[in-house]
Each structure stands twice: as structure tokens, then as C-alpha cells.
Structure 1
Amino acid sequence: MPVSAASLMEFPIPDVRQTVNARDAILYALSTGYGAEPVDGAHLRRLVERDLIVTPTLANVVADPGPLMEEAGVDWQQLVHAEQRLTIHRPIPLGTPLRSHSRVISVVDRGPDKGMFATSERTIVAEGDETPIASVIQTNACRGDGGCGSAGKPLEPLHPVPDRSADAVFTIKVPADAALLYRLNGDLNPLHANPAYAAGAGFPRPILHGLCTFGYASYAIARSVVAEGLVDVGFIAARFTAVVFPGDALEFDIWREKSDIHFRARVPARNATVLDYGHARLA
């Protein structure tokens, strides 16, 4: 039965509980670029247990409700990540029981054969304390579900990057096994591991998780906006504009305008912009 905007808005999403440990935090950091300089002290603070600093974009995978769009009846094979917005209210604590509450906040129908956009919001708190730790807003492009109608209030659009040369350019190569490593953070969508499934979705081979690219963006900012060491973001958002394949070399253009950081990511070998409309603020 085709999905409707009303059924998505009303779809009950159970709360999810998770206690994050050091192994979770280290695995996430290794899968999003922080292992690039394995003998540097600032990087090691995010990679070894003693005095561990939790990478902020880890929040994207904490207490995640899983393939809720598939469970709601969306054509899962035709779904791709369109946009992500993450606000860190306070660092993710280790060894503390956490809980997330999720809800669908808008559906934007583009019409039959054109797909629709579904946006969900996830709030992460500590058990027994409703003060938010992180707020995660995710928009999915559901390419096989157009004609479902619209509901809710769409998000304010992200702003384009500045029309001038970037203040910094950061390049990093994504390892060939990046998707196989990143999936261990909890996203087991076969689009990122199964060649036959990826082909059925229209891709020549498995693609990298959008949130893995997003994590690399946070790392690029952390590495580029200070002369030494690493800094953490308190807010980061971007639009996914093209797929990344494991093994691609990513080039990040970064602009600094007072407290705002703007960015985009490109794969020069394919002349593809893969992240755009990027916006971040430091913690």
C-alpha cells in the first residue's frame, strides 16, 4: 500500500536506549577520518581510552531508531539521504544510559514520479534528565514515493556557500573499506555493502554512507580552522548533492565568517560536488 503524508506524520517511532562506551566513540572516530594522523596527540585524544574526547558527530548514530522509513512503508531501495542538521547541546557522555525520541516533522511531496522529502527529528537525552544532549534533524529523499501529499512545516533552507575563494582547502582520501567500517556504527543498509543491491538502486557499486561523509566534513573543519590541534563543532549542517564512493579523494572548501563556518565537499576526480550548503559553528 502506498504511503501517505498523514501516515508518515502519525507513524509511531519507539524511543531508543543506548549506553555509549569508549569503544563506540573510538570506532566512530576511526571511521570518519580521525585516524589520519595516528601519532598526533590531538588525534589520539579521540582514539584511545585514556582522557578520551568524544567526537561530536558521534551523536548522529547514537540511539538511532534504525530504518524507520522502511518500517513506515517507504520504498527503502529508492531512499537516499538528502540533508542533515546536528546541534550538540553538551558532549555525549560515556557510560550513561541515553534515550532518544524521534518524530517525523514534515513531508514535502514533489509529485508522482518525482519523489518526496521526509524530515525527522531525534532528540537525545540522558535517562531521567530531559535536558537535550543533541538534536538531530535528517531529511531523506524518497525517490519512489511521490504523490503521497505534503504535511508539516518544511525546514528553513540552508544558505549557499560564499561566492569567493575558500579560506582553506582540506583534502583527504576515503579508504576503500570505509563503508564496511562505518556500517559497524549501526547503519547496515545493504546499499553500502552489497554490490547487487547497489546496482538495483542504480549505482555501479556500493556507496558511502552520507553520514560518513558528514563525519569527514566535521573532521575537515576540526583540522582546518586552527593552526594546531583539533577543534569541535557545536552545530553542523549540509545538503547531500552527489554520492561518494569508498576510495574517493574528498576536497573540502572552507570559509570562515565571524562565528560561522561554511563548507562544501567535492570529488575532483569526478568533478562532483558531494556536500553543499554546509554550515557549522564551533562548540
Structure 2
Amino acid sequence: MAISARSLMEFPIPEARQTVSARDAILYALSVGYGTEPLDAAHLRRVLERDLLVVPTLANVVAHAGPWMQDAGVNWQRLVHAEQRLTIHRPLPLDRPLLSRSRMLSIVDRGADKGMFATFERSIVTLPEETPIASIVQTNACRGDGGCGSAGVPLDPLTPVPERVADAMFSIRVPRDAALLYRLNGDLNALHVDPAYAAQAGFPRPILHGLCTFGYAGYAIGRALGAEGIADVGFIAARFTSVVFPGDRLEVDIWREDREVYFRARVPERGVTALDYGNARLS
């Protein structure tokens, strides 16, 4: 069905609840690179239930409202992730009820043949206290829904990475089964596993979840900076600029300026930049 900016801005995004277990946290960590060095103490802190240290980017997949944009009439098959901004207010607790509430922020119409950008915010709190845990601002590129009109106030752009040579680079090969594992965190979109569905969406084969690439970038930042993952991160964001396929090798360029970190993720074998405008802030 045809949608309008107004109908999407007013769509009642459902609340979502979840209690995160140690098993959930470990599954997520394994799906974004942790555990590849099982004798490394920093890796074990993320994948062993004893004294478990939760990966901050886990908040991206917690208490998710599901495919509500599909219910709102967006062409689900032609939707891709465009940008993600995650603010961590406090560490994500285990075995505590969590609630998320979402609201639309803006629609930017690029024309009937170019699609539109839809940006919404999801806030995660504990129950019953409603203590803030994380705020997620997500932008989706809805490639089949242009001409719907614009609404709301667009976000300020992310800061570009510095023009100088990067301070560090971390390389990691994404496993060929990465999407099959990552989808168990809750994103069951067939685009990431079904070759026929991916072909209908215009891709030669299933693509990696954007937030899986995002998680791998966070993992790379922690490894490159010598921290226990990204335990001290208060904010992390990036723009998705090209797809990643399971089996690709990621090279993450990292710049450090005091508590500010900038990053970019490349796929050198295909000559593309997968993540750009990467911004992180250490708390």
C-alpha cells in the first residue's frame, strides 16, 4: 500500500520488552567477533558467564519492536540500514526486565525514483524503575517508498573521519556463516540468508546484517585500542555506505583524538567502504 510521510510519522510503533540473559549476551558477543581468541582473557570476559562483561553494542538488538515498518506499509524487501547512532547511558543489566519505546523523528523524501530516509529513536529503560539504559537512533533507506513527502527535522550529519593517516588499523575476516549466527539475535530478515530473496532485492547473494558489521567495527576498535572490547564507550555511530557479504575481510581504520574515536570499515578485496563517518566517544 502507498504510504505518506504523515502516516509513517503517526504510526504507533509497538513497545517491546525483554529480559536479557547471560546466554543472550554471549550469543551476541560470539556473533560480532568475540571468542576467536579463546585463550585471551579479554575475549573470555565477553563469552564466559563467570564475571561476564556485556558488549555495549548489544543494546542495538535488545527489546526490538520487530518489523513494524513493514506493518506501516514500507516496501520491506527494498529497505536497507543507512545509519545507526547508539548512546549508552549505563551498562546493560542481565536478568532484569527491559522496556523500549520508539518514536519517529523524520522522513526525508528523495523522490519517487530514489526512495526516502526514515529516522526513528528507540529508548531502552529498566522496569519498573524506568532507569535509562540506552538510546538508539536508526535511519533506514526505504528504496521503494520515494514520493511520500518529508516530515520532521533531519539529524545533524555525523563528523567525517580525519583526512590524516589512521592511527591504527584492525583486520578481521567475517566468517562465511556470520549471518546465520547473527540472525539468532532476533533479526530474521530473509535478505540475510535466502539467495532467492536477496536476488529479488537486487543483491548477488545474501548480505550481512548492517548491525553485525557495526558490531564487528566496535570489536575492532576495542582490539586496536587495547581495551577490553569497547567497555568504556558512551556513544558509537556510523553510516552504512556499502554492503558486506559473509566471508568478506574487513579493515577498520581508527583515529584517536583524546576521548573521541573516529573509524571507517573497508572491504579491500572489493574496493568498497562499508562503514563511514564512524564516531565513538569514550566515557
Q: Is this a same-fold pair by TM over 0.5?
A: yes
- SS of alignment partner, residue 163 of structure 1: coil
1:128-277 mapped onto 2 (5 Å cutoff): 128-226=128-226, 229-232=228-231, 233-277=233-277
Residue identity opposite 1:257 in structure 2: E
Distance 2:3 2:175 in 1: 37
Corresponding position of 2:98: 98
Cα drift, residue 231 of structure 1: 3.8
Distance 2:163 2:14 in 1: 43
Identity of aligned residues (%): 73
Corresponding position of 1:65: 65
Distance 2:259 2:46 in 1: 24
Distance 1:71 1:118 in 2: 14
Runs of 4 or more, structure 1, over 4 Å off, are: none
Please give the TM-score of this superposition, normalised by the length of structure 1: 0.98
1:91-111 Cα distance to aligned partner (Å, 9 max, x none) = 110000000001111100001
Distance 2:37 2:172 in 1: 11
How many residues align? The count is 282
1:110-138 Cα distance to aligned partner (Å, 9 max, x none) = 01111000001000001122231000110
Contact 2:85 2:235 in 1 (8 A): yes
Distance 2:281 2:13 in 1: 30
- SS of alignment partner, residue 172 of structure 2: strand
Please give the TM-score of this superposition, normalised by the length of structure 2: 0.98
Distance 2:27 2:130 in 1: 27
Cα drift, residue 259 of structure 1: 1.2
- SS of alignment partner, residue 57 of structure 2: helix
Distance 2:125 2:239 in 1: 26
1:214-240 Cα distance to aligned partner (Å, 9 max, x none) = 0001101111112x6444222100000
Distance 1:80 1:231 in 2: 26
Unaligned runs of 5+ in 2: none
Contact 2:161 2:262 in 1 (8 A): yes
Cα drift, residue 203 of structure 1: 0.4
- SS of alignment partner, residue 199 of structure 1: helix
Residue identity opposite 1:187 in structure 2: D
Residue identity opposite 2:165 in structure 1: S
- SS of alignment partner, residue 101 of structure 1: strand
Contact 2:55 2:229 in 1 (8 A): no
1:9-36 Cα distance to aligned partner (Å, 9 max, x none) = 1000121010000000000000001122
Distance 1:138 1:36 in 2: 29
Two-structure CA RMSD over aligned residues (Å)? 0.9
1:58-77 Cα distance to aligned partner (Å, 9 max, x none) = 00000000111111100000
- SS of alignment partner, residue 166 of structure 2: coil
